[in-house]
């Protein structure tokens, strides 16, 4: 089962790509809610390269690592990667009037409901859109 989340951002595609793929930007937007944050991110943006981020509750009660490997990169339009035995595809689709659709398609997991997964990933993507908008 795959889940799709998406958002539209009016910004230059190169800025959107940079915010998605640069650790100093990732740590600013990669959280589903205000009580979580990303404390560290690494990116080796090449096929076979890896990525990781450390997400933690701000109160220190819990945290987890999110990591994977890039399997396809077509800058600034597409990233495909594998993480925890699952696949993720991120499309950056240029549209009219400088609007870029960012669409994530990912394999669902068995621990959380489909709605929980969709809502969490959408919340992170919404944070990403706000972060990009603040860069302009």
Mean pLDDT of 9-32: 97
* Cα 53 from Cα 70, distance rounded (Å): 14
Residue 64: both structure tokens together: 């987890």
Mean pLDDT of 61-66: 96
Closest C-alpha among 23, 13, 2 to residue 132: 13
pTM for this one? 0.96
End-to-end CA distance of the chain: 36
* Cα 95 from Cα 79, distance rounded (Å): 18
Q: Is the pLDDT of residue 62 over 90?
A: yes
| Owning domain of residue 36 | 2-135
Q: How many domains is the chain partitioned into structurally?
A: 1
pLDDT (tens digit per residue) in 88-110: 999 999 998 999 999 999 999 99
pLDDT at 136: 79
Q: Are 64 and 38 in contact (CB under 8 A)?
A: no
CATH number at residue 89: 3.30.530.20
pLDDT (tens digit per residue) in 119-131: 999 999 999 999 9
């Amino acid at each position: 089962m795959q889940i799709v989340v998406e958002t539209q951002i009016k910004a230059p595609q190169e800025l959107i790509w940079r915010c998605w793929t640069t650790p100093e930007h990732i740590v600013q937007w990669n959280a589903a809610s205000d009580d979580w944050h990303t404390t560290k991110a690494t990116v080796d943006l090449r096929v076979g390269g890896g990525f990781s981020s450390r997400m933690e509750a701000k109160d220190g009660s819990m945290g987890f690592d999110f990591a994977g490997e890039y399997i396809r990169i077509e800058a600034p339009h597409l990233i495909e990667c594998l993480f925890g035995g699952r696949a993720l595809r991120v499309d950056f689709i240029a549209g009219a009037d400088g609007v870029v659709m960012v669409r994530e398609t990912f394999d669902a997991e068995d621990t959380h409901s489909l709605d929980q997964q969709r809502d969490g990933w959408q919340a992170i993507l919404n944070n990403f859109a706000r972060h990009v908008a603040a860069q302009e």
